A and B are shown apart, each in its own frame.
Chain A
C-alpha cells in the first residue's frame, strides 16, 4: 500500500536530510506506529506519502502511484484515497460537526444525497451521533478529534495517516482515539500513526517503525515504544505533555 524505496528528503538549507535512505513497506490493512523524537522524520514521511513534499531521491509508492512522477493535477486524486488526521484537529470553527464532515465530500463534488447518507453513517462509526449540530468549540478535545477522523474517513480512503493524533489529549481519551483507529483498521483501512505516546504504543503492540535523525533504526512487529527517545528524557516528557509520567516506574525503567 505504501512503499518507500531508499527515500531521502533534504529540505532546502537544511544541514542534514530529514529522511535518509529510508526503505520500508506497509501492506494493505496494516496498522503501523511511527515513533521517534521530534525532528526524526516522522512527519516528513507522512508529508511525502500525501505528496505534500517530494522526495529528493528514491521512490515513494502510495496506492499504486509513483509519487515522484505524479503530475500536480493528479495529486488531488491521490489524496482522495488517503485520510489525514493531525494533532490540532484542523476543524472549521464556523461549521457544525455535520458540515465539517460534509465539507470533505462537498469539495470533491459528491452529490447531496450521498452526503446525507454517508455523513451520519460516519459520525455513528466515530461515536458522534446526536452531535451533528454542535460546533467544534462546544466539543471536548477527544470529540473534536473524532470529528477530524470522521472527516478523514468519510470518503472511505484506503489509507489513514495520523500525525500525533493524541498529542493534545489526555491518556484516557488518547486510548479511546487509538481504539477508534484500531476499529477503522479492522474494517480494512491501512493506518499509519506517527506518535510520541509510549503508553499507547506499548499498550497496542502493533508494528513499530522507529526513526532517528532521519534514519530507520527499527522495524518491529508488535514492538514497544523503545528507548531512543530517552537520550534527552526532558524533551520527551515535554512533548508528551504529561509531566506526571516522569514518575511512572515502568516507563523510567525502560528509559534508563
Chain B
C-alpha cells in the first residue's frame, strides 16, 4: 500500500472518529503522567539518598547538668571523659571521616535558625539540647560500628544515627511513588479498555470498508494496519503530552518552586524527565500495539 494513500486513510480515519481519538489521547496522557510522576518520585528518592547518605552523621550526645538521658544519671560529662571520647573517635578513622563538636549553645542556635518559621523555635529552651560529637562516615552503612562502640560509654547520653531518620523518610517517599505507579497501572487499564472499545467501535463503523478490502484480497496486515496506526498515533500523542506535563511539573514545580523553598535538598531535574521518557513512550507503544492486535484478532477476522 502506498505511503501517501496510507497517510490519507490514517488522517481521514482519525478525523471521522475525532471524539474517540481525543478520549484515547487524554486517558493515555493522564495514565502516562501518573506513571511518569511515580517514576520521577523514585528518582527523587534516589537523588536524595545520594545526597543525604554522603552527609549522614552519627550524633553522640553527651551529658549535661540535669540531662534527660538515663545513661547520664543526671551527671554532666567531665572534661576528661570528653577528651577520651575524642581520642577514641580519632582512632576510628576510617570509617569515621570527620569529627565535629557542637556545644549545647551552638545546637540551640542551629535549631532556632532551622525552625525560625515554626512556633517550636520560641518554645524551645537551651536546656533541651546537649553537647554532642557529630561524626560523618566514609560509608553510610558503617554506622553500627560507631553505635556499638559508644553506646553506654562513660559520659555518653545517647548515640543517634541520622540514617535511621532518613530511612523512615525515604520509606515514606517510596510508598508515595509506588502509590502513584499503582494508580497509573489502574489508569493504564482504563486506557487499554478504552483503546479496545475504540477499535471495536471503529471496526464496526467501518465494516463496509473492511468488508470490501477483504473481498478484493487485501492482506490481513493491510486491513488491520490503519486501526493499529490510529491507536498508536493517538496514544503516542497522549504520551507526548504527558511528557510535556512532566517536564513542566519538574521545570516549574520542582525547579522553580520546591528547590527555592527547600534550598538544602537535592532535587531531580529536567534530565530525569528525559530519562523516564523512553519507558513511558516504549510502554505506550507496547500497550497500543498489543491491545489493538488482540482486539483486531477478535473483531476483524478474515
Contact = CB atoms under 8 A, between A and B. Distances in A.
Contact of B217 (A72, A80, A106, A112): A80
B201 interface: no
B217 A90 contact: no
A49 B258 CA distance: 71
Given A106-B1, A107-B1, A78 B217 contact: yes
Interface string B204-245: 000011011111111110110000000000000000000000
A96 B120 CA distance: 80
A92 interface: yes
A87 B220 CA distance: 25
Contacts of A79: 214-217
A233 B173 CA distance: 82
B225 to A, nearest CB: 10
A50 B222 contact: no
Interface in B271-302: 302
A107 B302 contact: no
A76 interface: yes
A contact residues, range: 20 to 34
A255 to B, nearest CB: 35
Interface string A214-231: 000000000000000000
A50 B216 contact: no
Interface in A168-218: none
Nearest to B209: A92
B119 interface: no
Given A72-B302, A75-B302, A107 B208 contact: no
A103 B2 CA distance: 11
Nearest to A106: B5
B contact residues, range: 10 to 19
Nearest to B4: A112
Contacts of B218: 76, 107-108
A248 B163 CA distance: 103
A107 B216 contact: yes
B222 A109 contact: yes
B162 to A, nearest CB: 66
B275 to A, nearest CB: 41
A106 B212 CA distance: 12
Interface string A44-73: 000000100000000000000000000011
Nearest to B222: A107
Nearest to A72: B302
Nearest to B218: A107
Contact of B213 (A77, A107, A111): A107
Interface string B3-34: 01100000000000000000000000000000
Nearest to A105: B216
Contacts of B213: 107
A108 B223 CA distance: 10
Contacts of A82: 217
Given A90-B211, A92-B208, A107-B222, A80 B302 contact: no
A146 interface: no
A155 interface: yes
Given A75-B302, A92-B212, A103-B212, A108 B5 contact: no
A75 B217 CA distance: 7
A187 to B, nearest CB: 19
Contacts of B212: 90, 92, 103-104, 151
A50 B214 CA distance: 10
